[in-house]
Amino acid sequence: MKTIKGPGIFLAQFASDEAPFNSLAGMAKWAAGLGFAGVQIPSWDHRLFDLKQAAESQAYCDDILGTLSDAGLALTELSTHLQGQLVASHAAYDTMLAGFAPPDLAGDAKARQAWAVQQLQWAASASRRLSLNAHATFSGALAWPFFYPWPQRPMGLIDEAFKELASRWLPILNVFDEAGVDVCFELHPGEDLHDGATFDRFLAAVQHHPRANILYDPSHMVLQQLDYLAFLDLYHERVRAFHVKDAEFRPDGRAGVYGGYQDWIDRPGRFRSLGDGQVDFRGIFSKMAQYDYPGWAVLEWECCLKHPQEGAKEGVAFIREHIIRVTDRAFDDFAGAATDHAKNRRILGLE
């Protein structure tokens, strides 16, 4: 069995224009000071990282790793959540997604998609240069506007959407395969891949590609009322990244899983800082140990109540306390004995 690596922290929600959060060196020192062992870098944030340069220059990647090493940190994964969203996006979201790509691509959906694909290809090369074996991203969404079947969907609509989604991602998965890196889709409402059923449909469409894997985040499963522990029993072989994020779902008489268009603080389902929600992390970490999860436990802070600095400070201790140092022996080894073939046959009544 493997002991999970961690605690790590996703830097996206903490980066800003103010020091120390406006540079990788500053954020590395801050994260290490809190007790984190690794960081997950948002590849779109030019204050912290230059994705193109990382794809093309081993010297630059060595400098990135050196900056983290100087602070006593490792790099857990790169993230292309924003770019992945643009690999496949329905036209209904064109205006809202304009800020995910360079301003000069506004209004040109094809150019924006081509830019996103290039970003993912660079991410594969950069991950290889950085000696990473997993990458965090979103799938994007062509079918999400039609997630609820009313008005009634035309027959074949979802099949066509997943066929197109697969055709866009399959070449990218092949590039990551050449780099030796798993693509870990965060299953998330708003993405075509948002639960086990949609992941299964996508997996079939990409011929069960070995690099099509999962970033496991139980908070999104709480908000969908999905059994996040049973999910690990079903999909643990494809789980290659892990966002440790808490959530709660408080049923009431006014709103349900869709939230009633309310602000996060008023929704029945909402994200919370680690330890403040309802997620059974002892159960999760136990299953991660049971199934030999090979990667990092990475804090993603999203909370509508608590200050992010408090969330980070409390989160590092929370993850450290939940990581299970796996055993290297069976608890009843003391009562065992060496294998004796003849004795075993006598016990079975075979001699």
What is the rounded CA–CA span in Å between residue 300 and residue 312? 9
Averaged pLDDT in 10-residue chunks for the chain of 351 residues:
95 98 98 98 98 98 98 98 98 95 94 98 98 98 97 97 98 98 98 98 98 98 98 98 98 96 97 98 98 98 96 98 90 76 91 78
pLDDT, position 123: 99
Name the pairing type of β-strands 296-299 and 246-249: unpaired
Q: What is the value of pTM for the model shown?
A: 0.96
CB 279 within 8 A of CB 220: no
Residue 204's identity, in one-letter code, is A
**In this predicted structure, what is the pLDDT of residue 30?**
98
Residue 95 DSSP code = T
The letter for the amino acid at 137 is T
- The domains found in the chain, sorted by start residue, are 5-329 (3.20.20.150)
- What backbone torsions phi and psi does residue 265 show, to the nearest 5 degrees? -65, -20
Query: Distance between CA 162 and CA 193 in Å, rounded?
Result: 10
In 3D space, the residue among 82, 16, 65, 8 whose CA is nearest the CA of residue 40 turns out to be 8
Q: How far apart are CA 114 and CA 265, in angstroms?
A: 37
Nearest to residue 229, comparing CAs of 283, 271, 291? 283
What b-and-e string marks burial along 244-281, b requiring 16 or more CB atoms within 10 Å of the CB?
A: bbbbbbeeeeebeeebeeeeeeebbbbbbbbebbebeb
Residue 335: its pLDDT value, please? 74
Question: What distance in Å separates the CA atoms of residue 14 and residue 301, rounded to the nearest whole number?
Answer: 8
- DSSP state, 3? P
Beta bridge partners of 246: 272
Residues 97, 89 contacting (CB under 8 angstroms): yes
Structure tokens given for 17: 């224009």
Beta carbons of 292 and 1 less than 8 angstroms apart: yes
